[in-house]
């Protein structure tokens, strides 16, 4: 079934190309009926994403999940580190006791995309003595098997939990000093990480536009939710279903949820029928906020409609992004510019 669906995709693409229809404007395919959707890539194109029939995720696939370390002294030459290898971590330049940022990508991506480049640039631009570990699970996240990538998020979270448990046990980091940020499917990997820790909770988990397909019907045990860390914040930028031009959750998934420009169809993204541009804006906003604590002023409100009509008293405001207070709760709305700098504050 899945194999025939993929062949149909290929035949359709061939026909579209002959008719002059390019992948930048694919025909809509309702994924719930055909089990396939067009998924936007970070380069602005699209790949077929099959929702069933992919290779099963097995225990041996854990070897396809890699941890890449960056530090202030080692910003551009990543060093792979391994669970249980304390000497290897030290030799790779890991700064024991320093804050740890764990970052990861989503479907059809890798550490060269997603939140890692922006976080790395902005954190080290401020000369912060921190550790950054980027999770590379690109082999398991590769197109066209979206269903396999979605299933693999559990394995990614479980293996990352082993690393975190080891680092904490060795006194190399405190749980409260760990901040995980995952984009799209990577946000749910963070949820599985939080659920598999030996004791205590991560200091912070940031969901960057958590993916909706195959997670919308799951329970909170299998998707990002507020129990996964001491503080969970979520940024929604391509919310909605494929048919709405969205890819991600609309419903709140954290202690604090931010909805810039309603949480979908970001300004400057043009038609963006399948959310290509909007889906990546979440980590662009987050990155811009790292060295600007006054960026992205947001207002607590009941809905975007009330906010957009100026009907919110806005007794409670805060700033989206890196510097959000961890005792904050609720849904916050704001507007952004259509190009960098995105913040209007």
How far is 226 from 36, CA to CA, in rounded Å? 30
Q: Is 303 a catalytic residue?
A: no
Q: Is 179 a catalytic residue?
A: no
**Regarding beta strands 256-260 and 330-334, do their DSSP bridges make them parallel or antiparallel, or are they unpaired?**
parallel
Q: Which of 108, 184, 278, 280 is catalytic?
A: 184
What helix, strand, coil percent values describe the chain, rounded to 5?
Answer: 35, 20, 45
**Under 8 Å between Cβ of 243 and 273:** no
Q: Which of 209, 228, 233, 257 is catalytic?
A: 209
Nearest-5° Cα angle at 59, 56 to 62: 105
Q: Which of 279, 280, 289, 343 is catalytic?
A: 279
How far is 164 from 194, CA to CA, in rounded Å? 10
How far is 69 from 87, CA to CA, in rounded Å? 14
Closest CA to 286 of 274, 295, 277: 295
How many Å is the maximal CA-CA distance in the chain?
61
How far from 166 is each of 36, 46, 137, 154, 230, CA to CA, in Å? Answer: 39, 38, 20, 18, 19
**Under 8 Å between Cβ of 50 and 147:** yes
DSSP-based three-state secondary structure for 317: strand
Write the DSSP assignment of 228-297 as a string of letters: GSSSEEEE-SSBS-GGGT--B--S--SSEEEEEGGGSS-TTS-S-TT-HHHHHHHHHHHHHHTT-TT-SE
How far is 150 from 165, CA to CA, in rounded Å? 24
Return the number of other C-beta atoms located less than 10 Å from residue 311's C-beta: 12
Q: Is 244 a catalytic residue?
A: no
Write out the catalytic residue numbers: 184, 209, 279
């Amino acid at each position: 079934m899945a194999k025939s669906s993929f062949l149909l995709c290929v035949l359709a693409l061939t026909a579209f190309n002959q008719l002059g229809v390019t992948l930048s404007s694919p025909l809509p395919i309702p994924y719930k009926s055909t089990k396939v959707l067009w998924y936007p890539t970070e380069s602005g194109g699209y790949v077929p994403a099959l929702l069933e029939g992919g290779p099963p995720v097995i225990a041996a696939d854990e070897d396809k999940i890699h941890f890449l370390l960056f530090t202030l002294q080692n910003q551009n030459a990543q060093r792979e580190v391994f669970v249980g290898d304390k000497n290897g971590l030290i030799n790779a330049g890991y700064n024991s006791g320093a804050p740890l940022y764990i970052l990861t990508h989503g479907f059809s991506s890798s550490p060269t995309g997603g939140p890692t480049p922006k976080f790395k640039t902005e954190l080290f631009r401020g000369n912060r003595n921190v550790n950054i570990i980027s999770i590379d699970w690109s082999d398991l996240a590769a197109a066209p098997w979206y269903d396999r990538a979605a299933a693999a998020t559990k394995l990614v979270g479980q293996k990352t939990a082993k690393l975190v448990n080891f680092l904490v046990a060795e006194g190399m980091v405190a749980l409260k000093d760990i901040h995980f940020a995952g984009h799209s499917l990577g946000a749910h990997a963070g949820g599985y990480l939080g659920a598999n820790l030996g004791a205590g909770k991560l200091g912070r988990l940031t969901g960057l536009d958590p993916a909706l397909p195959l997670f919308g019907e799951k329970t909170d045990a299998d998707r990002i939710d507020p129990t996964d860390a001491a503080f969970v914040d979520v940024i929604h930028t391509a919310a909605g279903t494929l048919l709405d031009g969205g890819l991600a959750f609309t419903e709140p998934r954290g202690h604090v949820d931010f909805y810039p420009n309603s949480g979908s169809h970001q300004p400057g993204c043009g038609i963006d029928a399948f959310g290509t541009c909007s889906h990546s804006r979440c980590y662009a906003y987050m990155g811009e906020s790292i060295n600007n604590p006054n960026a992205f002023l947001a207002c607590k409100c009941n809905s975007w409609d009330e906010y957009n009509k100026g009907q919110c008293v806005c007794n409670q405001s805060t700033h989206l992004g890196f510097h959000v207070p961890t005792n904050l709760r609720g849904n916050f709305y704001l507007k952004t510019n259509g190009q960098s700098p995105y913040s209007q504050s």
